[in-house]
A and B are shown apart, each in its own frame.
Chain A
Amino acid sequence: MKSKTHKITLIYVSISIIVAVLCHKLFSLYFSESQYLSLSLVKDILFILATGLVFSYILSKNKNRNSSVFEKLNQTNEEIKESNEKYDIVAKATSDTIWDWKIQEDSINWNKGIESVFGYNPEDVGKTSKWWFDKIHPEDSIRMSIKLYSFIEQKTEKWQDQYRFRCSDGTYKYVLDRGFLLKDENGRAIRMIGAIQDITKQKEEEQRLKLLETVITQSKDSILITEANSVDRKIPKIVYVNPAFSQMSGYRSDEIIGKSTNIFKGPKSDSEELKKLLRAIKNEEECVIETITYTKTQEEYWVRFSMIPIFNNEGVISHWISIQRDITDEKKLETEKEHLIRELTQNNKDLKQFSYITSHNLRAPLSNLIGLLNLIEDLPIENEELEEILAGFTKSTHLLNETINDLVKVIIIKDNPSMQKEEVSLQEVFENVFSQLSFQIELHKPIIKLKFDKVPKLITNKAYLESILLNLLTNSIKYKSENRKLKISIIAEQIDNKTILSFKDNGIGIDLERNRDKIFGLYQRFHNYPDSKGLGLYLVKSQVETMGGTIAIDSEVNKGTTFTITFKN
């Protein structure tokens, strides 16, 4: 533009000088001095007019050109403004963090996202790419920079990468970064613009799903997923099986997908159970079955098989999930257990029968002895020694008889788990017991305190309750202390839904430290008394337990003993 202006000026000056010199030469040659002066004026005026016209033409042309340039500039300016606005709107809408990197100058600009997403104040944001790279998680940074530089060197077509980007608070966010290159006329990368998307939530969800997926892939139970329903009302087609399934059934997943689970059916499968399953499928209900099934190599195994329908948001069934467990071992154990129980029951029955026969065979001759002794009682005996011998004979026979009767009681209690229960008045039971012991009560005159007002009646077996109280009362009298008057207190209480009967005396007690485990045992005696057989407490415990109760003892040597009997109502 300037050179053009100079050119025009130079041309004009040269033309003007040439015109001036030519006119001067011509005028001085052809005209007189006076003429020359007026002609020179005319010539100057003409020249001025001519140059004026030329100027006006050039200026007007220039003016036109300038205004069109201005207009063009204005338009471009508008376009740029609009484009900037659009960019701002898009940047806001995407919530992506956008960066603009001038590669040669290594200057990088960030949009507002660096603050709103990552928390960096504008003044903290570095101006170079180093700041950017520093924020990338060390485990990701090498991989990321290799990919990025190979893109800048245009060895790769596209660039997008996932990495962890450090926020201002030191935590990391998973990001997806995508960018493109701007090149100069020689094709050299000069600028790169990118957008960083925060995908932390997606990534976390992905990891959560991955973790959930391990439940299926790592599970020891077979899991398979089938289609919603089959057309022919059979078991629907399989769409997924987990590795445990392949392990269990021998079918690889590619062999089984698309097939119906009917293939597990075999000669020993329980058809009733399979029908149950089909019914559940038809009714879209959950169901569990157990059946024998077959592996690919036709080996049979027991499986517990559940089908659970999965419904979509519209409540329409979309899939079935089936969980299967190999219960062959379980079944084997169960069968063994059943066998064992049968065997034990039989043994128990045999033993019981044996005990009845034994007791019968013992009792038969014993009853003869007693009968014979009864006969002797009526006969007069003169020989004193014989009388003494017979007395001993009688005593021993009766003791043997008592022992056997007690044992028989034990056998019968053990054999009678479901005895009859009735409403029993505690007061009445005690009166019966006292009348049976009236002789001993008269003899020792114990102080007996009874408190039954809380539980006047009890639903129980009367005979057992009498036997229990008789045994306990006899024991209290038998093992009373010689140094003090015997006191017995019997209290019945109702606590929650339990009846508690406590039976307390101040007798000689039992050394629980030594005998705790033996207290209620068979033939356990804790005092060397001639008529103690070690059966009483065993009987008591058996009877209490047969009635569904429990018995506990608390005792201190020379202080006394308390028995606590608890019955559930």
Chain B
Amino acid sequence: MKTRSKKTRRQLLIRIGIAAAIAMLLIVVVVFAGAFAPNDPYQTNAAFIRKPPCAEYPLGTDNLGRCVLSRVIYGGRTTIAATFFLVAVSFVIGTVIGILCGLFGGIVDRFLMRIADVTLAFPQMVIALAVAGILGGGLGGALIALGITMWVSFARLARSHTLSIKNEPYIQTALLAGKSTGYIVLRHILPNTMAPILTNALTQIGMTMIGISGLSFLGLGVVPPTAEWGSMINEARAYIQIAPWAVLAPAVATIITIIVFNYLGDAVMDYRDL
């Protein structure tokens, strides 16, 4: 039995390694988009409208003669950066609220957890749609719309883990030794609650990406001409018969990215469950 769990543990580590490597590769490509993109993603070219893939334009051109590959690479930067930004902000806000609630309890805790309950009681995308729709297009509106509900899962996790370790002897010892609350939070509580919260952040990436590109697809997120996968698919969908590559390229990019991050999240979760 022991050898078996050791084996699956190693298998899982290999899976995590591969997924993380691909994820890193994707991030490197979009961060250094300028080095990888063959052309300027915003340069229109009337002589090359909706041209199929060729040497100069490896994935063809779109309706305005822009290089699809370059736009996919730069679009990835928008999508991935927006996703990471949103997850990071929710992560920080949620964790701070969660730890403070768990640590101090009382009326503030009850009030904030009540808000969390109420937030969870509503359909996230419906709220996001209304907020983004009323705030008008733009990435900022979309991020606010999705962020309204995203902090909750982090806050709940941080709170429950803080509660479960609050009365552990080592924290009591630190208290008796006269350490300040700030010291205890930074030195003991944060390190001990980080693992589950980070795992949660990882699993949220795929969902957030779906949300952001979905809102952009509907015209409620990133506004053209800024390259973003969802809005590119929406733009190119009108002439899919003539230039299917302009839709398929961002579509494949979206699918691969989401699958990689979901896979990574699942693998890390499985590893922690072992």
Chains A and B form a bound pair: no
Q: Chain B: residues with CB nearer than 8 A to chain A?
A: none
Q: Chain A: residues with CB nearer than 8 A to chain B?
A: none
